[in-house]
């Protein structure tokens, strides 16, 4: 059994194959995932699992150097944005439009779909290095 907190084998597999600057997205249950992009669907029911608990779990295993957030998250869901800032700590946050974020999903190694129903609960995590 795994020793780290993250138990989901599909998410762990994607993270283990990521290199520097590769990206992984976490989205709410309504985020459209492009055909051809790996979908890891962990949504169970409304808000379970939640976006924030999914983000914090993934951060136990993935070293990141940047977080890409839709500016609409800051404007429409400021508490969620504050929670994201706390979770990622001293990591660069880049703002783009929600439309740009959806377009960038095509380049992600995978999109993790949560049960979250808070508007604009979506991020793209850019992999960093541990050395």
Domain ranges of the chain: 21-127
Find out whether 84 and 73 touch, Cβ atoms under 8 Å: yes
Measured distance CA(4)–CA(124) in Å, rounded: 22
Task: Please give the CATH topology (third level) of the domain spanning 21-127.
Answer: RbsD-like fold (3.40.1650)
Q: What is the pLDDT of residues 94-106, one digit of tens each?
A: 999 999 999 999 9
Does the annotation count 32 as an active-site position?
no
| Residue 98 annotated as part of some ligand binding site | yes
| Residue 122 annotated as part of some ligand binding site | yes
Find out whether 112 and 121 touch, Cβ atoms under 8 Å: no
pLDDT beyond 70 at 1: no
Q: What is the pLDDT of residues 6-47, one digit of tens each?
A: 999 999 999 999 999 999 999 999 999 999 999 999 999 999
What is the value of pTM for the model shown?
Answer: 0.96
Q: Which of 5, 13, 17, 20 is flagged as catalytic?
A: 20
| Residue 8 annotated as part of some ligand binding site | no
Residue % of the chain over a pLDDT of 70: 98
Place of tokens 């999914």: 54
């Amino acid at each position: 059994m795994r020793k780290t907190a993250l138990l989901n084998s599909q998410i762990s597999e994607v993270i283990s194959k990521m290199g520097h600057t590769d990206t992984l997205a976490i989205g709410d249950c309504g985020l459209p995932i492009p055909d051809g992009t790996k979908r890891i669907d962990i949504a169970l029911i409304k808000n379970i699992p939640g976006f924030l608990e999914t983000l914090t779990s993934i951060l136990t295993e993935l070293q990141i150097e940047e977080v890409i957030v839709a500016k609409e998250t800051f404007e429409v869901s400021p508490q969620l944005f504050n929670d994201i800032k706390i979770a990622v700590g001293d990591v660069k946050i880049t703002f783009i439009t929600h439309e740009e974020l959806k377009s960038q999903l095509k380049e992600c190694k995978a999109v993790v779909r949560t049960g979250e129903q808070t508007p604009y609960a979506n991020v793209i995590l850019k992999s960093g290095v541990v050395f």
